[in-house]
Amino acid sequence: MRDKFLSFSLPLIGQEEIDEVIEALRSGWLTSGPRTRQFEENFRNYCNAPAALALNSCTAGLHIALRSLNIGPGDEVITTPLTFAASVNVIEHVGAKPVLVDVEPDTLNISPRGVERAITNATKAVLAVHYAGHPVELDQLQEICSQNHLHLIEDAAHAVGAEFRGKKIGAGSNLTAFSFYATKNLTTGEGGMLTGSAELLDRARILSLHGMNREAWSRYAAGGKWAYDIVEPGYKYNMTDIQSALGLQQLRRFAQMQERRQEIVRQYNSAFEVFPGFLTPVTRPHVTNALHLYVLRLRPQEWSVDRNRFIEEMTARNIGTSVHFIPIHMHSFYRNKYGYSPDAFPVAQQAFEHMVSLPLSPSMSDKDAGDVIEAVLDVRACFAKRRMAG
């Protein structure tokens, strides 16, 4: 057993990132400025997106996406129960009603067939989450939305670097929100990016900075104009140049970091997929998985303990883990407001009860990955049900 606790997902921060941040500090421009504009441009080019807007979080991106599409009271937005609460909270923030649809058993992404059944006259949008870095079935969802005159919003908090049928997530005109939180594949500490059509991003940019006219950010630059105009009440959602400096360097070596994730996932799959007690993550052949999370599922019939005890045993072996996620319908606010029962979304519910996220980060060494594997297999040796000889 390892001596030092392995945190669930430490970011990979090197001297290059530190140097970039120091340069930003020395430049005197700390808030949104030239580095933020450069980060937007570089990220737009990476995704081949029509336009990009840097923000202080993915949550801000989802909120502004709904506002930019004029979704509000009386409207319904279809989304998944297996996501972090932010994906659904923003629907409440704009006064709309979230309508939850169960997930597919293999990818744990929202079911297109379920979406189709959930559409009503009040439905205005589908908010699809690319769970754990595996893209949703975009072509099916896009067709459903087109046929029913609905907006498709993509929550790509897990999906930087993911591809669907050879195209990067974020390459289309759909409003797509990315996260650069500390545990994400690319980090700025806190932060996010919204991509989509240039027309929608123009309004989103105004909403992201108090509702000020488009170029108000440059009023403190050389030659900038002091005058500004509030064209609608907006928010304080802008990204700073300090964050952007970190993001610029992270993006430069993003391919290298993704390669390391792939190596660790291959080691995990090789170690676990041979045992009947484990269900390892899947990747459908027409996608590139961003591999944000490694969600291992325990087949309950093969175990003498439940998932919670499994996590306790991993902690006792100095391995940090997590659970992604407690389904939305289990949280008291949504349970009480909409009257959800625990079995309202059985696929999501069952997956939640048996899932555990293992450490996955490019900062992990081969020894770290080996320690995780050793701990998982040791727990299995102690608590897997014994099979009787035939």
CATH of the domain at 362: 3.90.1150.10
**Sequential DSSP letters for 221-249:** STT--S---B-S---B-BPPHHHHHHHHH
pLDDT band for position 214 (cuts 50, 70, 90): low
What is the model's pLDDT at position 178? 99
Residue range 84-96: mean pLDDT, rounded: 98
Kindly state whether residues 145 and 54 are assigned to the same domain: yes
- Does any domain span residue 347? yes
346 & 219 share domain = no
Per-residue pLDDT tens over the stretch 332-376:
999 999 999 989 999 999 999 999 999 999 999 999 999 999 999
Residues 137, 86 share a domain: yes
Structural domain includes residue 1: no
Q: Please indicate, yes or no, whether residues 79 and 134 belong to a single structural domain of this protein.
A: yes
Distances from the Cα of 208 to the Cα of 39, 55, 62, 238, 357, angstroms: 16, 7, 11, 6, 33
In a domain, 8, yes or no: no
| 129-145: average pLDDT | 98
In a domain, 138, yes or no: yes
Does 44 share its domain with 150?
yes
Residue-level pLDDT at 158: 98
Q: Which of 204, 222, 252 is the last residue of a domain?
A: 252
Confidence of residue 386 (pLDDT cuts 50, 70, 90): confident
Residue 86 is assigned to a structural domain of this protein: yes
Whether residues 262 and 278 share a domain: the answer is yes
| Tally of CB atoms within 10 A around 109 | 22
Q: How many structural domains does the chain have?
A: 2
Active-site residue, from 4, 97, 168, 184? 184
Q: Helix (H, G, I), strand (E, B), or coil: what is residue 209?
A: strand
Strand partners, 189: 181
**Res. 97 pLDDT band, cuts 50 70 90:** very high
| pLDDT the model gives residue 146 | 98
Residue 375 lies in a domain: yes
What pLDDT does 307 receive? 98
Check whether residue 73 and residue 62 sit in a common domain: yes
Contacts of 222 by beta carbon, 8 Å cutoff, 6+ apart: none
Contact 294, 328 (CB under 8 A): no
Q: Give the mean pLDDT of 127-149.
A: 98
Residue after which a domain boundary falls, among 252, 283, 309: 252
Q: What's the whole-number mean pLDDT along residues 216-221?
A: 56
pLDDT digits (tens, 9 = 90+) for 153-206: 999 999 999 999 999 999 999 999 999 999 999 999 999 999 999 999 999 999
* Confidence at 227, pLDDT banded by 50, 70, 90: confident
* pLDDT given at position 219: 54
Residues 214 and 231 in one domain: yes
> What is the four-CA torsion angle of 96, 101, 104, 110, rounded to 10 degrees?
-10
Q: Can you give the CATH number for the domain in which 139 is found? A: 3.40.640.10
- Do 229 and 269 belong together in one domain? no
Which of 224, 252, 280 represents a domain boundary (last residue)? 252
pLDDT at 228: 84
Q: Residue 220: pLDDT band by 50, 70, 90 thresholds?
A: low
- Categorize the per-residue pLDDT at 389 as very low, low, confident or very high, splitting at 50, 70 and 90: very low
Q: Based on the domain organization, do 86 and 41 belong to the same domain?
A: yes
Same domain, 300 and 152: no
pLDDT of residue 291: 98
Who has greater pLDDT, 63 or 385? Answer: 63
**Which H/E stretch holds residue 177?**
strand 176-179
For residue 224, pLDDT beyond 90: no
Is 184 catalytic? The answer is yes
Mean pLDDT computed over every residue of the chain:
96
Rg of the chain in Å (alpha carbons):
22
Crossing angle (nearest 10°) for helices 366-383 and 307-316:
130
Residue 218 lies in a domain: yes
Residues 236 and 286 in one domain: no
Quick check: bond before 272 cis, omega within 30?
Answer: no
Where in the sequence is the domain holding 159, given as residue range(s)?
15-102+110-252
Per-residue pLDDT at 308: 98
Residue 329 lies in a domain: yes
